[in-house]
Amino acid sequence: MSEAIAMDDPFRDPAASQASPRIPARRRLVRALESFSIWIALFFVWMLAAEYLPLGDNPLIPSPALTFAALQESLPELWKGTISSFCILIPGFFLASAAGIAFGLAVGASVRLQRIFFPFARVAAPVPPTVYIPYAIAILPTFRLSAIFVVFIGAFWPVFHNTAAGAASLEQRYRDNAAILGLKGFEYHWRVALPATLPHVFSGMGVGLAFSFVLLTVAELFGANAGLGRFVQFYADYADYPRMVAGILYTGLITWLSMSLLEKARHRALFWLR
Protein backbone atom coordinates (compact mmCIF):
# COMPACT_ATOMS: atom_id res chain seq x y z
CA MET A 1 0.00 0.00 0.00
CA SER A 2 2.80 2.42 0.89
CA GLU A 3 4.56 1.57 -2.37
CA ALA A 4 1.44 2.42 -4.36
CA ILE A 5 1.08 5.75 -2.60
CA ALA A 6 4.75 6.54 -3.28
CA MET A 7 4.31 5.64 -6.95
CA ASP A 8 1.36 8.08 -7.26
CA ASP A 9 3.11 10.99 -5.54
CA PRO A 10 4.31 13.38 -8.30
CA PHE A 11 6.56 15.31 -5.93
CA ARG A 12 8.43 12.39 -4.42
CA ASP A 13 12.20 12.23 -4.59
CA PRO A 14 13.21 9.58 -7.16
CA ALA A 15 16.12 8.57 -4.96
CA ALA A 16 13.92 8.19 -1.88
CA SER A 17 12.70 4.74 -2.96
CA GLN A 18 16.27 3.47 -3.16
CA ALA A 19 18.32 2.66 -0.10
CA SER A 20 20.96 5.38 0.11
CA PRO A 21 24.39 3.97 0.91
CA ARG A 22 25.72 4.89 4.33
CA ILE A 23 28.78 7.12 4.23
CA PRO A 24 31.61 5.75 6.38
CA ALA A 25 32.49 7.82 9.43
CA ARG A 26 36.02 8.40 8.15
CA ARG A 27 34.73 9.82 4.86
CA ARG A 28 32.31 12.11 6.71
CA LEU A 29 35.19 13.37 8.82
CA VAL A 30 37.30 14.01 5.73
CA ARG A 31 34.46 15.94 4.10
CA ALA A 32 33.96 18.03 7.23
CA LEU A 33 37.67 18.85 7.36
CA GLU A 34 37.61 19.81 3.68
CA SER A 35 34.69 22.16 4.29
CA PHE A 36 36.50 23.94 7.12
CA SER A 37 40.05 23.64 5.79
CA ILE A 38 40.33 27.26 4.65
CA TRP A 39 38.93 28.54 7.95
CA ILE A 40 41.34 26.39 9.93
CA ALA A 41 44.26 27.60 7.83
CA LEU A 42 43.24 31.24 8.24
CA PHE A 43 42.90 30.78 11.99
CA PHE A 44 46.45 29.47 12.25
CA VAL A 45 47.73 32.30 10.05
CA TRP A 46 45.94 34.72 12.37
CA MET A 47 47.59 33.15 15.43
CA LEU A 48 51.05 33.31 13.84
CA ALA A 49 50.57 36.91 12.69
CA ALA A 50 49.42 37.97 16.15
CA GLU A 51 52.44 36.25 17.70
CA TYR A 52 55.20 37.36 15.35
CA LEU A 53 53.87 40.68 13.99
CA PRO A 54 53.10 42.67 17.16
CA LEU A 55 53.87 46.07 15.51
CA GLY A 56 54.32 47.92 18.79
CA ASP A 57 52.47 48.14 22.07
CA ASN A 58 49.06 48.44 20.36
CA PRO A 59 49.07 45.60 17.81
CA LEU A 60 47.06 45.97 14.64
CA ILE A 61 46.55 42.21 14.69
CA PRO A 62 45.21 41.23 18.13
CA SER A 63 45.36 37.61 19.19
CA PRO A 64 42.29 35.37 18.84
CA ALA A 65 41.94 35.15 22.63
CA LEU A 66 42.01 38.93 23.01
CA THR A 67 39.57 39.38 20.12
CA PHE A 68 37.04 36.87 21.42
CA ALA A 69 37.22 38.41 24.89
CA ALA A 70 36.45 41.81 23.32
CA LEU A 71 33.64 40.21 21.33
CA GLN A 72 32.07 38.81 24.46
CA GLU A 73 32.26 42.17 26.23
CA SER A 74 30.80 43.98 23.22
CA LEU A 75 27.83 41.70 22.57
CA PRO A 76 25.22 44.06 24.11
CA GLU A 77 26.50 46.96 22.02
CA LEU A 78 26.74 44.78 18.91
CA TRP A 79 23.17 43.59 19.43
CA LYS A 80 21.93 47.18 19.51
CA GLY A 81 23.96 47.87 16.37
CA THR A 82 22.41 44.82 14.69
CA ILE A 83 18.90 46.11 15.37
CA SER A 84 19.82 49.55 14.07
CA SER A 85 21.39 48.09 10.92
CA PHE A 86 18.46 45.79 10.22
CA CYS A 87 16.05 48.72 10.54
CA ILE A 88 17.81 50.03 7.42
CA LEU A 89 18.60 46.76 5.66
CA ILE A 90 15.21 45.08 5.83
CA PRO A 91 13.08 47.93 4.35
CA GLY A 92 15.65 48.72 1.66
CA PHE A 93 16.19 45.12 0.60
CA PHE A 94 12.55 44.04 0.59
CA LEU A 95 11.40 47.16 -1.24
CA ALA A 96 14.15 46.58 -3.80
CA SER A 97 13.15 42.92 -4.16
CA ALA A 98 9.46 43.75 -4.62
CA ALA A 99 10.17 46.50 -7.14
CA GLY A 100 12.82 44.48 -8.95
CA ILE A 101 10.53 41.46 -9.31
CA ALA A 102 7.54 43.53 -10.45
CA PHE A 103 9.44 45.62 -13.00
CA GLY A 104 11.57 42.67 -14.08
CA LEU A 105 8.52 40.56 -14.89
CA ALA A 106 6.83 43.42 -16.73
CA VAL A 107 9.92 44.32 -18.79
CA GLY A 108 11.02 40.75 -19.43
CA ALA A 109 7.60 39.74 -20.73
CA SER A 110 7.32 42.64 -23.18
CA VAL A 111 9.64 43.13 -26.16
CA ARG A 112 8.62 46.79 -26.39
CA LEU A 113 9.44 47.45 -22.73
CA GLN A 114 12.77 45.70 -23.22
CA ARG A 115 13.63 48.15 -26.00
CA ILE A 116 12.65 51.05 -23.74
CA PHE A 117 14.24 50.07 -20.42
CA PHE A 118 17.25 47.87 -21.22
CA PRO A 119 19.35 50.69 -22.78
CA PHE A 120 18.73 52.83 -19.68
CA ALA A 121 19.49 49.91 -17.33
CA ARG A 122 22.82 49.26 -19.07
CA VAL A 123 23.87 52.81 -18.20
CA ALA A 124 22.32 53.23 -14.75
CA ALA A 125 23.03 49.81 -13.23
CA PRO A 126 26.87 49.95 -13.34
CA VAL A 127 26.97 53.28 -11.45
CA PRO A 128 28.25 52.47 -7.92
CA PRO A 129 25.44 53.22 -5.45
CA THR A 130 27.99 54.64 -3.01
CA VAL A 131 28.20 57.80 -5.10
CA TYR A 132 24.60 58.56 -4.12
CA ILE A 133 25.34 58.53 -0.37
CA PRO A 134 26.41 62.19 0.10
CA TYR A 135 23.62 63.40 -2.17
CA ALA A 136 21.00 61.24 -0.42
CA ILE A 137 22.15 62.46 3.01
CA ALA A 138 21.89 66.06 1.84
CA ILE A 139 18.46 65.70 0.20
CA LEU A 140 16.52 63.29 2.40
CA PRO A 141 15.38 64.47 5.84
CA THR A 142 17.00 61.72 7.94
CA PHE A 143 20.06 59.52 7.71
CA ARG A 144 17.93 56.39 7.98
CA LEU A 145 15.90 57.31 4.90
CA SER A 146 19.04 58.11 2.92
CA ALA A 147 20.65 54.81 3.93
CA ILE A 148 17.48 52.89 3.00
CA PHE A 149 17.53 54.63 -0.38
CA VAL A 150 21.15 53.61 -1.02
CA VAL A 151 20.47 50.01 0.00
CA PHE A 152 17.40 50.03 -2.26
CA ILE A 153 19.41 51.21 -5.27
CA GLY A 154 22.13 48.64 -4.69
CA ALA A 155 19.75 45.69 -4.31
CA PHE A 156 17.27 46.71 -7.02
CA TRP A 157 19.43 46.23 -10.10
CA PRO A 158 20.54 42.61 -9.48
CA VAL A 159 16.96 41.56 -8.75
CA PHE A 160 15.62 43.46 -11.75
CA HIS A 161 18.20 42.14 -14.22
CA ASN A 162 17.88 38.52 -13.14
CA THR A 163 14.08 38.63 -13.09
CA ALA A 164 13.89 40.31 -16.50
CA ALA A 165 16.34 37.81 -17.96
CA GLY A 166 14.31 34.91 -16.59
CA ALA A 167 11.01 36.31 -17.88
CA ALA A 168 12.52 37.06 -21.29
CA SER A 169 13.91 33.53 -21.62
CA LEU A 170 10.57 31.86 -20.85
CA GLU A 171 9.90 29.16 -23.42
CA GLN A 172 7.44 30.06 -26.14
CA ARG A 173 5.28 27.01 -25.46
CA TYR A 174 4.45 28.38 -22.01
CA ARG A 175 3.45 31.69 -23.54
CA ASP A 176 1.29 29.91 -26.12
CA ASN A 177 -0.41 27.77 -23.47
CA ALA A 178 -1.09 30.87 -21.36
CA ALA A 179 -2.61 32.61 -24.39
CA ILE A 180 -4.83 29.60 -25.08
CA LEU A 181 -6.04 29.64 -21.47
CA GLY A 182 -6.69 33.37 -21.69
CA LEU A 183 -4.11 34.34 -19.06
CA LYS A 184 -3.12 37.97 -19.48
CA GLY A 185 -1.71 40.83 -17.46
CA PHE A 186 -1.33 40.24 -13.75
CA GLU A 187 -2.73 36.71 -13.91
CA TYR A 188 -0.14 35.71 -16.54
CA HIS A 189 2.71 37.18 -14.50
CA TRP A 190 1.50 35.57 -11.27
CA ARG A 191 0.62 32.10 -12.57
CA VAL A 192 3.13 31.60 -15.40
CA ALA A 193 6.01 34.07 -15.51
CA LEU A 194 6.81 34.29 -11.79
CA PRO A 195 6.98 30.53 -11.04
CA ALA A 196 9.13 29.95 -14.11
CA THR A 197 11.41 32.86 -13.19
CA LEU A 198 11.86 32.04 -9.49
CA PRO A 199 15.35 30.50 -9.89
CA HIS A 200 16.53 33.74 -11.53
CA VAL A 201 14.71 35.80 -8.89
CA PHE A 202 16.48 34.10 -6.00
CA SER A 203 19.84 34.42 -7.76
CA GLY A 204 19.27 38.16 -8.06
CA MET A 205 18.11 38.41 -4.45
CA GLY A 206 21.27 36.65 -3.28
CA VAL A 207 23.48 39.14 -5.10
CA GLY A 208 21.28 42.02 -3.94
CA LEU A 209 21.47 40.94 -0.30
CA ALA A 210 25.26 40.77 -0.43
CA PHE A 211 25.38 44.26 -1.98
CA SER A 212 22.94 45.49 0.67
CA PHE A 213 25.29 44.56 3.50
CA VAL A 214 28.21 46.24 1.76
CA LEU A 215 26.27 49.44 1.11
CA LEU A 216 24.75 49.42 4.59
CA THR A 217 28.20 49.30 6.17
CA VAL A 218 29.53 52.05 3.90
CA ALA A 219 26.49 54.26 4.54
CA GLU A 220 26.89 53.88 8.30
CA LEU A 221 30.46 55.16 8.04
CA PHE A 222 29.17 58.50 6.78
CA GLY A 223 26.80 59.68 9.47
CA ALA A 224 25.25 56.95 11.58
CA ASN A 225 25.40 57.06 15.36
CA ALA A 226 24.68 53.32 15.66
CA GLY A 227 24.99 50.18 13.57
CA LEU A 228 27.54 47.51 12.75
CA GLY A 229 29.52 49.70 10.37
CA ARG A 230 29.56 52.51 12.90
CA PHE A 231 30.79 50.11 15.60
CA VAL A 232 33.81 49.08 13.51
CA GLN A 233 34.61 52.67 12.49
CA PHE A 234 34.27 54.01 16.06
CA TYR A 235 36.76 51.60 17.59
CA ALA A 236 39.10 51.90 14.60
CA ASP A 237 39.22 55.67 15.21
CA TYR A 238 40.19 55.02 18.83
CA ALA A 239 42.70 52.30 17.86
CA ASP A 240 40.84 49.67 19.85
CA TYR A 241 41.75 46.92 17.40
CA PRO A 242 40.44 43.94 19.40
CA ARG A 243 36.93 45.43 19.38
CA MET A 244 37.32 46.49 15.75
CA VAL A 245 38.26 42.95 14.65
CA ALA A 246 35.48 41.57 16.85
CA GLY A 247 33.01 43.85 15.06
CA ILE A 248 34.28 42.65 11.67
CA LEU A 249 33.89 38.99 12.67
CA TYR A 250 30.44 39.63 14.12
CA THR A 251 29.33 41.45 10.96
CA GLY A 252 30.57 38.55 8.85
CA LEU A 253 28.59 36.13 11.01
CA ILE A 254 25.40 38.18 10.67
CA THR A 255 25.89 38.37 6.91
CA TRP A 256 26.41 34.62 6.66
CA LEU A 257 23.30 33.91 8.73
CA SER A 258 21.22 36.22 6.54
CA MET A 259 22.51 34.63 3.33
CA SER A 260 21.86 31.17 4.78
CA LEU A 261 18.30 32.16 5.64
CA LEU A 262 17.71 33.35 2.08
CA GLU A 263 19.20 30.13 0.73
CA LYS A 264 16.87 28.10 2.96
CA ALA A 265 13.89 30.08 1.65
CA ARG A 266 15.10 29.40 -1.89
CA HIS A 267 15.40 25.69 -1.15
CA ARG A 268 11.84 25.54 0.18
CA ALA A 269 10.37 27.64 -2.63
CA LEU A 270 12.11 25.74 -5.45
CA PHE A 271 11.14 22.30 -4.20
CA TRP A 272 10.97 20.92 -7.75
CA LEU A 273 14.70 21.56 -8.25
CA ARG A 274 15.84 19.43 -5.31
Sign for the pseudo-dihedral over CA of 51, 55, 58, 59: negative
- Secondary-structure class of domain 64-273 per CATH: mainly alpha
Contacts of 56 (CB under 8 A, 6+ apart): none
pTM above 0.85, yes or no: no
The three-state DSSP-derived secondary structure of 60-109 is CCCCHHHHHHHHHHHHHHHHHHHHHHHHHHHHHHHHHHHHHHHHHHHHHC
Query: Which among 219, 207, 17, 194 has a CA at the least distance from the CA of 102?
Result: 194
pLDDT in tens, 99-145: 999 999 888 888 888 888 888 888 888 888 888 878 887 888 888 88
pLDDT tens sequence across 151-199: 999 899 999 999 998 888 877 777 767 777 777 777 777 777 778 888 8
| Domain locations along the chain | 22-53, 64-273
- Tell me the HSE value of 184 on the side-chain side, using a 13 A CA sphere: 3
| Distance from chain centroid for Cα 191 | 26
Average pLDDT over residues 192-217: 88
Residue in 166, 167, 164 with CA at minimum distance from that of residue 156: 164
Calpha distance 194→105 (Å, rounded): 7
pLDDT digits (tens, 9 = 90+) for 46-96: 888 877 776 656 577 888 888 899 999 999 999 999 999 999 999 999 999
CA angle 102/254/84 to nearest 5° reads 75
